[in-house]
Amino acid sequence: MTFPWVANTVLTRSIRLAPIIAMAALLASCASPPMPPSSSMPSVPVAAPVTAGSRPGDSGPLPAPLVQGKSRWVPVRWAELPGFEEDQLFEAWNAWLKSCERPGPIFAPLCGEVRRLSIASAEEQRVWMVARLQPYRVETLQGGSEGLLTSYYEPVLKASRMTGGAYEVPLYRAPSTLGSRKPWFSRQEIDTLPEARAALKGREIAWVADPIDALMLQIQGSGRLDISEPDGSQHVVRVAFAGSNDQPYRSVNQWLLAQGVTKINPWPDATKAWALQNPQRVQQLLWSNPRFIFFREEALSNFDAAFGPKGAQGVALTPGRSIAVDRDSIPYGTPVWLASRGNAANLQKLVVAQDTGSAIVGAVRADYFAGTGPQAGEMAARVNQPLRLWVLWPR
């Protein structure tokens, strides 16, 4: 596709994000076969900005509905996508470039064009999307189009390589015996059974100070540790999901509600406040969730720090532009239009399906990656609101 790009296009971008986009595009192109010459790409005229409902190219007969696992996809016009004309699409291109590092067979043929468009204007990106993609409204097999949006993030915790003092709660690598029994020991058994404790001896990555923080890290599935080394140095590493004990997940908040606790949000602050008032019951609270997560340590470069951990697709998550989905409803690497309004956030934007989670089940269901650190955590704790989704599928 030939676009009349102008030299100052990049200057319209955020100064902070432009190096990330350029570097991501460079790295992605280095790992891929040479792109075809632009003459091999279909030419699409670039029109002046238009209002929703009059988008050029959005005409002609619609294709038939599709069934994708647990979901039904209903073809629609681009005008149905709320906020399509206003979204800062270049932000989403970071996530799309990441997906092109490990694309599936459906989207791999588009990755050359996606890379070219990383420095295009938002209008050029919109024109290309209309020409190359068909939006489908995601519904349940029964026809429901409204679902649930939640959010997750990457916590940052203070930690130490050595136990003692304030740091007494261990974070573990996966034990060598993890596959020897399914499910593996529960959280309570890990704390109490000599056999389980022996299997984890020497598997400690680091220690943190608060058991609620350790539980939160396990619920999120990954995080960063601001870690103190024995020599007195301090640096930040990432701990990524490396496996679980295959025990069922149980909500600590639901357990608290069953105990008659009325203030359970914001998480985890309300839980920590309850724990301070009920120190003799903290272990009981922790054991209410038998699921236990093991981690692996990863180095964190300055470039990596701009992105989140790797999701289930195997690519790094992009804050505000990556979602976790039910892979039986939406394949990994699929660009998705997301619309959700609630007290926590009003979102109308392009995102990419790059992760999943044990609680993310159903056709119209997504978990929104809010980013890293306390501010992202505050947002993630509040998001629990209605959701609509449209997959953008190659024509």
What are the phi and psi torsion angles at 386 (to 5°)?
Answer: -60, 155
pLDDT at residue number 304: 85
3-state secondary structure the chain: CCCCCCCCCHHHCCCCCHHHHHHHHHHHHHCCCCCCCHHHCCCCCCCCCCCCCCCCCCCCCCCCCEEECCEEEEECCHHHCCCCCCCCHHHHHHHHHHHCCCCCCCCHHHHHHHHHHHHCCHHHHHHHHHHHEEEEEEEECCCCCCEEEEEEEECEEEEECCCECCECEEEECCCCCHHHCCCCCCHHHHHHCHHHHHHHCCCEEEEECCHHHHHHHHHHCCEEEEEECCCCCEEEEEEEEEEECCCCCCCHHHHHHHCCCCCCCCCCHHHHHHHHHCHHHHHHHHHCCCCCEEEEEECCCCCHHHCCCECCCCCECCCCCEEEECCCCCCCCCEEEEEEECCCCEEEEEEEEEECCCCCCCCCEEEEEEEECHHHHHHHHHCEEEEEEEEEEEC
pLDDT at residue number 54: 58
Per the CB < 8 A criterion, the answer to whether 239 and 223 are in contact is yes
Strand partners for 234: 228
Per the CB < 8 A criterion, the answer to whether 349 and 262 are in contact is no
223 vs 289: CA distance, rounded Å: 19
Per the CB < 8 A criterion, the answer to whether 321 and 95 are in contact is yes
Strand partners for 336: 351, 391
User: Using one digit for the tens of pLDDT, what is the confidence trace for 97-114?
Assistant: 999 999 999 999 999 999
Show the tokens assigned to 66: 């599709």
N- to C-terminal Cα distance for the chain? 15
Residues of the chain whose pLDDT is less than 70? 1-54
Per the CB < 8 A criterion, the answer to whether 129 and 390 are in contact is no
Place of tokens 């998705």: 336
Whole-model pTM: value is 0.80
Structure-derived torsion over alpha carbons of residues 211, 216, 222, 225, reported in degrees to the nearest 10: -50
pLDDT at residue number 379: 93
25 vs 114: CA distance, rounded Å: 9
pLDDT at residue number 56: 78
277 vs 273: CA distance, rounded Å: 7
Identity of residue 27: L
Alpha carbon 306 to chain centroid, angstroms = 14
Show the tokens assigned to 10: 């990049």
Per the CB < 8 A criterion, the answer to whether 127 and 349 are in contact is no
Show the tokens assigned to 198: 């022996």
110 vs 117: CA distance, rounded Å: 11
